[in-house]
Amino acid sequence: MDSAQETIIAFLETVHPYDSLPRDVLTRVAAQFRRREYPENSEVYAAGEPLSGLYLVKRGAVEVLDPNGALVSVLGPRNSFGERGLLRDGLAMTSARTTRDSVLLMLPKAELRRLIDEYPAFERFFSRARQSAGHGADLATTKVSELMARKPLTCDPETPVAEAARLMRDNNVSSLGVVEGDGEAARLTGIVTTRDLTARVLAEGLDGSTPVGLVMTPDPLTLAPGSLGSDILHMMLERRIGHLPVVENGVLRGMITQTDLTRFQAVSSAQLIRDVATADTVEEMTEVTERIPRLLMQLVGAHNAHEVVTRLITDIADAVTRRLLVLAEARLGPPPVPYLWLACGSQGRQEQTGVSDQDNCLFLDDAVRPDDMDYFARLARFVCDGLNAAGYFHCPGDMMATNPRWCQPVRVWRQYFRNWVETPDPEAQMLASVMFDLRPIGGTSSLFRDLQAETLEMASRNSIFVAHMISNSLKHQPPLGLLRGFATIRSGEHRNHIDMKLGGVIPIVDLGRIYALQGRLSEVNTRARLLAAEEAGVVSVSGGRDLIEAYDMIASMRLESQAALVRSGRKPDNYLAPSDLSDFERSHLRDAFVVVRTMQSALGHGKGALG
């Protein structure tokens, strides 16, 4: 072995992921590298040129520019570049030029591909480069407001059905919104479709003068203009309906039908929802949920925003839960009193990823009798065991409807919240944190509606409770080291990793919950809470924007890490090795953690988020 190769080996031993290679493999790889010297201001390659290998900076500096000449990054020793083009079609996606006299090492693309195929550390390190550079609009991520093709046609409840039929025929539509009032004051009260006219008028022999109000579907399911296209698909497939009114503040803004969706292809999340909605057994649902990691990988690879990815993943859990409730009632018979199944935790916040347990509870109508409790105990056991079989594991803390403590009448739940607020001991703080993330999933939603508003008001007025909640939220700290590094796990399976859930996402979730409490904000999703807190003045504009950007980076990197694990054939988890990141990524991730720590400090020192 000559001295030049020994020098390259010594250098590679200081560069990740080469430092993870066995000695004999490292020796082989070092022999493959080609050493090249470039004077200052030399072009290494231009955008669109064929790339013969991966470049590694040994000495000097290189700037990378996009095809328009805009600066993308400045690289120094131990930084790699050129991999995005190599791992796509072999053509450079950027241009590279030295800014100082530089020594670069070039690894042939065949050797790079071999390393990625054979060693997980290389697959993880370069996985981001393998993702597609762009992704066109699809139905799942398109806003409902962008899908509405025309102004909605309406009639009032007194309109004769014959006139309504002519209105639909003349305008070539299959439904009308039934409203009361005029203009912006009009409120949607129902919907009538051509199917209604067939089944409820013609089939029943009713006269054409029959008022629409007698045959319409009252209080129909609706969506807001800001909902996603996935909401349309999931609701239509799960509830077997073909028309959805789009409503904002009670006013009908549009109508979405199955015909409106024909220009879009249904994405895989909608396919999973459909398969869940038609499943007759837990085993069939389990077959569906086993496809979620693949869906996660595809959604992340398509560069969807993290809040879209987690929303689509959570929608599947919601559908599984509702389907299990249907199957439970089919087995046990109709419930003796109305009930409401609610989710808390990540499902409640619509933030599920590829790793999820279950957190849920049951609200029962106050008319429930002691003899009725056995029915709900059996329903809870059926649903929770079904969720567990489908991959949503039993909660280690027993925060589930199978626990009699969390299967109670509304009056008991009201007293629970009152006691937690008035006596905020450590258990009360923990339970209140969980329960403030409640979201109705299936059943009679009105059982929770008033309770949520009154609890927020009661809690926000109690300064002692708020102070205890703030103190409790600050227990989760970002993993920042003392010397501009990260505080990684020191031993065990995840040694030298950081927990992107406990140290990354959870501190921001806690902040969002406190802001929602202080501002009496009804939002449950973390990002929605941060946006609402900024709009309501609970946080300053600059502090809110910084925190949202920090959250977006941390949550996105967590999902990208999980997707990389799935891509390599492993189960997703929440652990990320900082050494797998580029210097650029490590710097920005640390900056994001610093923002979170700063906002925590402001809250902890009594300045609120405005300090």
pLDDT in tens, 544-557: 989 999 999 999 99
Q: Does domain 268-452 have CATH number 3.20.20.70?
A: no
- Peptide bond preceding 17: is omega within 30 degrees of 0, i.e. cis? yes
Q: So what CATH class is 3-130?
A: mainly beta
Average pLDDT, the chain: 86
Q: Does domain 146-261 have CATH number 3.10.580.10?
A: yes
Question: What confidence tier does 17 reach under pLDDT thresholds 50, 70, 90?
Answer: confident
Q: What is the pLDDT of residue 430?
A: 84
Condensed to tens digits (0 to 9), the pLDDT of residues 386-400 reads: 999 999 999 998 999
| Rg, the chain, Cα only | 28
Cα angle 275-270-175, degrees, rounded to a multiple of 5 = 105
Condensed to tens digits (0 to 9), the pLDDT of residues 341-376 reads: 999 999 999 999 987 889 999 999 999 999 999 999
Residues 102 and 62: beta-carbon distance below 8 Å? yes
Question: What confidence tier does 149 reach under pLDDT thresholds 50, 70, 90?
Answer: low
Bridge partners (DSSP) listed for residue 245: 255
Q: What is the pLDDT of residue 424?
A: 83
Average pLDDT over residues 503-526: 92
Task: State how far the Cα of 558 lies from the Cα of 554, in Å rounded to an integer.
Answer: 6
Kind and range of the H or E run holding 520? none
Q: Which two tokens stand for residue 147?
A: 């899908």
Task: State how far the Cα of 25 lies from the Cα of 11, in Å rounded to an integer.
Answer: 15
CATH number belonging to the domain at 474-604, selected among 2.60.40, 1.20.120, 1.20.81, 3.90.1070: 1.20.120
Condensed to tens digits (0 to 9), the pLDDT of residues 486-506 reads: 989 989 889 999 999 999 999
What is the β-pairing status of strands 187-193 and 175-180? antiparallel
Residues 346 and 360: beta-carbon distance below 8 Å? no
Average pLDDT over residues 455-464: 89
Q: Distance of alpha carbon 422 from its chain centroid, rounded? A: 34
Q: Where in the chain are the domains?
A: 3-130, 146-261, 268-452, 474-604
Task: State the pTM of this model.
Answer: 0.62
Checking phi first, is residue 484 left (phi over 0); if not, alpha (psi -120 to 50) or beta? left
Average pLDDT over residues 299-311: 82
Average pLDDT over residues 433-457: 87
Condensed to tens digits (0 to 9), the pLDDT of residues 58-97 reads: 988 888 876 666 565 667 788 888 876 776 667 887 889 9
Task: State how far the Cα of 437 lies from the Cα of 567, in Å rounded to an integer.
Answer: 32
Average pLDDT over residues 13-40: 88
Q: Is the confidence at residue 378, as pLDDT, over 90?
A: yes
Q: Which residue has the tokens 């992340």?
A: 300
Which range, 23-32, 163-172, 205-214, 540-549, has the best average confidence (pLDDT)?
205-214
In our burial notation (b when 16+ CB lie closer than 10 A, e otherwise), range 514-523 reads bbbbbbebeb
**Percent of all residues in the chain with a pLDDT value above 90, rounded to a whole number:** 47
